[in-house]
Amino acid sequence: MPEDDDHPHAGGDSTPRKGTMWYSRSAEEVLVQLGSAITGLSVQEAARRLAINGPNELKEGKRVSPLHLFFGQFKSLIVWILIGAGAISSLLGEVVDAIAILAIVFLNAVIGFYQEFKAEQSIAALKKMTAPQAKARRDGNVTAIAASGIVAGDILALEAGDLVAADARILEAASLKCIESALTGESDAVTKQAKTLAQGDIPLGDRENMVFMGTSVAAGTGQAVVVATGMNSELGRIAGLIEEAGADEGTPLQQKLDSFGRILVWAALGIVALLFGLGLLRGTKLLELIMTSVSLAVAAVPEGLPAIVTVSLALGVLRMSRRRALVRRLPAVETLGSTTVICTDKTGTLTVGEMTVRALSVAGRSYEVTGEGYGPGGEVRFGGRKSGAQHTAPLLDLATVLLGCNNAHLVQEDGTWKVVGDPTEGALLAVGLKAGGDRQRIDKELPKHHEIPFDSDRKRSTVIRRMPDGKLRAFINGAPDVLLLRCTNLYTGTGVRPMTDEDRGSLVAQNTALARQALRVIGSAYRDLDDLPPAALTADAVERDLVFVGLVGMYDPPRQEAKEAVTKCRAAGIRVVMITGDHPHTAMAIARELGIAADGDTAIAGVELDTMSDDDLRQRAPGTAVYARVTAEHKLRIVRAWKANGAVVAMTGDGVNDAPAIKGADIGIAMGISGTEVTKQASDMIITDDNFASIVAAVEEGRGIYDNIRKTLQYLLAGNTGELLLMTICVVVGLPSPLLPIHLLWINLVTDGLPALFLAADPIDPDVMNRPPRRRSERITDRGFLGPMFLTGFLTAGVSFTVYLYGLKTGTEEMARTQAFAVLVFAELLRAFGVRSETKPVWRISLLTNFNLAIVVSISFGLQVWSHHNVTLGRFLKTSFMSLGDCFLLLAVGVIPLLVLETVKVVRHTRPQWRTEP
């Protein structure tokens, strides 16, 4: 990161640029460079800087107007083909045809608009994270002012519970701790200090002498000088990344349909032009040629396709909501099904997001602790069983230290236990209660006399309480290595004895073993004191000659269901990549436990990423499972590296630092419970239970939806192919048009359209997650799609042409057209049952698994037969009367294509599965 040498002192005309390494400069240097002092700015100087630099606010990206969003629904090439066909029909006086076509187009646009209306609110949501009020020194006095009025050089007064108003360099800190998980991904509160850090590029989470806009103060007090405001802050930089990442590249389905639409347009235009020219050579009337051309265009285009795809995705949204996934953009449903890589945040996504104690060591014995988070669920176990009465005394003595030196509180909100205060102390409080401690009894019987807060130099905290006998006892929790140096005695469970070198070596080995499990280890000790006034109870006087009690190992545990979900992803050919702001050894331990990384794998840290070019990262991405100590910008680069390798990337997360990558991924997934509003607004989908397993369930739904769209598309296009072949054959051989535009619209919208809707709701194949994901380059109209489509089109066109030719020889042109229309409708309706599976014949698929399809096909049969007996409907469809006997005879002819197709299916799959398909 380049050093910025701008010096806005003596006037401070501008907010210093983000590149300045404020953490590597002394507090005095920072104050001089910013033209400020420990007493703060004057009111006049602050007003001047505010006028020059503008308010301390995040700028909103360009809003998409509802009108623009609505017209965006008309980008599809197929939609414009329909609009053109509707316009020509209107000009030719075919008003009914034109209204029907344009109504379908409008309905599709309304549905899409409704689903996407609120999809662009990411930058606005960031404003909710900024502090509405801040305390700053003006003219030497601490004053509460609007956070938007904070300027570079202001001195912020910080205390527990505050939301930090701007990026600032700490000048003074007294037990100051900040929660930065939303910005960095780390679960622990970060201890802050004022000392100058080393030169060089230090990761955001390690800048201990800085506080950042949008984070909160967990404990302690401090003062800090503002170095960056608004869009120049780290939060502002993320806002800029979200806007940059938001370019819409289109989902795989959108890209495939657009590609298919272009092919369809040129094929249709080519056929229409060829036949139009052939008609001119034959001397056919121009008006008749135009009408025939419009009919051919209508036959070539599946009018119901845009609506069918939209409704298919909407049905998928409904099904996914039942599996705890809320979809904010319709195409995201299908994108999930083609996902090849899931880049996931660790904290709060793969893990619980709460520090949890897993191990205790006291009086020479090691214990396991069950349960997750801060709730009372779980127990202390010894040897795989709940600890018995012989363990009660030592566990209670350890619990007394853990609870006695603790300022956190646990509260239950909406059924969830949360910590008020430092998360580490919250975890110690939770395990102290599981070990038999009683917080209320301790506060009542052992009242607090004095406290020596934690600081990063001592690496421990002390609370002194008065015992029932009137004496004082100091309870100390801290880093084991430092604490052991100040211990001279050892608690044994039956008493206290002097600590030997062997004891010390054993405790060091236990500490090392716990640390190798990626556990954060805390040591506990106590000391009895003489009755002294608080002023005499200094750290040096109290924290020596201690009695060492025990060790506590804690971490942010993986979710119980996450490992199973990762295994399912592997079976489905989906790569899971962990991207976290946490330390590399912690990230690798969790990744190995979940099965994301193997024993020999290593993590790439953010510092290493900074040295890589985009091309280097693209080459290394496929071989890297874990990225640690990364920033929001790094996460976005990783997502783009995978996309550059051709992957369809899903990005999951909950913090603000995940939002840019979520916005830049093919499918962005936010956590509904722990996720920030920023992340939710940047996402395509929200998981309501914060469960990684729900993401896998959503992928399964996405694959099933794609399968249904594919079979529906094949059903529609095979019908269009048959219509186009029938029309083309008749024009080539010089016969009158066998179908009118209204016939084609009826077939495409009613006969094909209604069954297609229920094909889109077909049950998902249970084996859908046992096959690899589709490649991004894979065409939806591949060989396996086109072969059956053309065969179906040839068969339906063949039976319809035969009936039409027979009708022309035995009756009138109108009757022949009516019979051709009827047999084509019957063939199409029957084919809906066969298209449900590419491998199983129709008699092996239960009708009850999609009973709605059977009902709508029956209704469509009835409508078709009724159209030949009802004068009004017959006039609308331009059909003639036909007896019931003729109708059933044509129905028998319409079965021929289905029988041939199912026979081919059986022959092709010589070993069919004989179970009923769900």
Annotated catalytic residues are 345
Q: Say which residue the tokens 């998928």 belong to.
A: 316
The angle subtended at Cα 569 by Cα 567 and Cα 574, nearest 5°, is 140
- Asked whether the beta carbons of 521 and 464 are under 8 A apart, the reply is no
Residue 348 region by backbone torsions, left for phi larger than 0, else alpha for psi between -120 and 50, else beta: left
- 52's enclosing H/E stretch is helix 43-53
Whether the CA torsion 805, 808, 809, 811 is positive or negative: it is positive
Helical packing angle, 252-282 and 692-733, nearest 10°: 0
Token pair listed for 873 = 């409907």
Q: How far is residue 27's CA from residue 5's CA, in Å, rounded to a whole number?
A: 16
50-to-53, 197, 232 alpha-carbon distances in Å: 5, 30, 14
Q: What single DSSP character describes residue 775?
A: P
329-to-105, 108, 112, 678 alpha-carbon distances in Å: 19, 15, 9, 16
Cα–Cα nearest to 403, from 508, 521, 552, 186: 552
Q: How far is residue 707's CA from residue 698's CA, in Å, rounded to a whole number?
A: 14
Token pair listed for 407 = 């300022």
Token pair listed for 651 = 């990005």
Secondary structure (3-state) at 217 = strand
Q: How far is residue 562's CA from residue 617's CA, in Å, rounded to a whole number?
A: 27
Neighbours of 907 (CB within 10 A): 8
Q: What single DSSP character describes residue 362?
A: E
- Asked whether the beta carbons of 404 and 463 are under 8 A apart, the reply is yes
Q: How far is residue 274's CA from residue 731's CA, in Å, rounded to a whole number?
A: 11
Secondary structure (3-state) at 349 = helix
- Asked whether the beta carbons of 335 and 684 are under 8 A apart, the reply is yes
> 768 exposed, middle or buried (CB, 10 Å; 0-12, 13-18, 19+)?
middle
Q: What DSSP string runs through 449-477?
A: EEEEEEETTTTEEEEEEE-TTS-EEEEEE
Q: How far is residue 401's CA from residue 777's CA, in Å, rounded to a whole number?
A: 61
The β-bridge relationship of strands 341-344 and 575-579 is parallel
Neighbours of 47 (CB within 10 A): 14
Cα–Cα nearest to 368, from 380, 386, 352, 351: 380
657-to-238, 321, 558, 632, 679 alpha-carbon distances in Å: 7, 26, 20, 5, 8
Secondary structure (3-state) at 625 = coil
Token pair listed for 251 = 């989902």
Q: What single DSSP character describes residue 352?
A: -
15-to-27, 35, 44, 57, 884 alpha-carbon distances in Å: 17, 11, 17, 13, 85
Q: What single DSSP character describes residue 27?
A: H
DSSP bridge pairs for 325: 687
- Asked whether the beta carbons of 497 and 448 are under 8 A apart, the reply is no
- Asked whether the beta carbons of 249 and 171 are under 8 A apart, the reply is no
673-to-416, 634, 677, 679 alpha-carbon distances in Å: 11, 25, 10, 11
Q: How far is residue 867's CA from residue 882's CA, in Å, rounded to a whole number?
A: 9
